[in-house]
Amino acid sequence: MAYKPKVGSTMSEPNVIPMADIMLVLLIIMMVITPMLQKGVSVDMAKVNNPVDMHAADKDNAILFSVTRDGTVYFRTTKISMSQVTDKVKNEVKNRLNKIVFIKSDARAKYGDVVSLVDDVRAAGVEQIGLLTAKAEKPLTGAPNPGS
């Protein structure tokens, strides 16, 4: 008679513990990498109904300024003063064909701070300025019509 090894009882349900381990590792990796994918400083941008896609703002070499609620200006992720904006823009656009500057402003930033930044960028000789906004989740309603 031939030797037949005895097999223990078979498991009727799948072993999900290795899958759970893998999923937890992937979750941790995503939590670590996600903040690194963001360009510039995080601000709560104004919400609009009809935004225009500006894919050039997502490039690594995009000229991106951010204005926070308290009026602080950042060039990409570096804090700068308003007096440095014109020189910084001149240095960045001098060897470029596509001279466009993107401005990302907090929705609650003072209007005057954003206008000053736009004015300084234009003083550097840049004519194309992209104001970055976020798409509104539900349509925004405008002010009521005074004629009705």
Alpha helices in the chain (DSSP H): 17-37, 85-93, 111-123
Please answer whether residues 99 and 128 qualify as being in contact, where contact means their C-beta atoms are separated by less than 8 angstroms: yes
Q: Which domain holds residue 95?
A: 47-135
In the block, tokens 């990796």 appear at 29
Give the pLDDT confidence score for residue 55 in this predicted structure: 83
- Residue 10, domain member (yes or no): no
The sign of the CA dihedral 115, 121, 123, 127 is negative
90 lies in some domain: yes
Torsion over CA of 25, 26, 27 and 32, rounded to 10 degrees?
Answer: 90
For 16-64, the pLDDT digits (tens) are 788 889 999 999 998 888 776 666 677 888 888 888 888 888 787 888 9
Q: In Å, how far from its chain's centre is CA 75?
A: 14
CA dihedral 100, 54, 32, 19 (to 10 degrees): -150
For residue 108, is pLDDT > 60?
yes
User: 112 falls in which pLDDT band (50, 70, 90)?
Assistant: very high
- The total number of structural domains in the chain stands at 1
- pTM metric for this prediction: 0.67
User: Any idea what the CATH number is for the domain that residue 105 is in?
Assistant: 3.30.420
pLDDT per position as a tens digit, 64-92: 999 999 999 999 888 999 999 999 999 98
Kindly tell me the sign of the dihedral angle through the C-alpha atoms of 95, 101, 102, 106: positive
User: Does residue 94 form part of some domain?
Assistant: yes
Is 2 among the domain residues?
no
Residues written for the chain: 148
Instruction: Give me the pLDDT at residue 137, please.
Output: 82
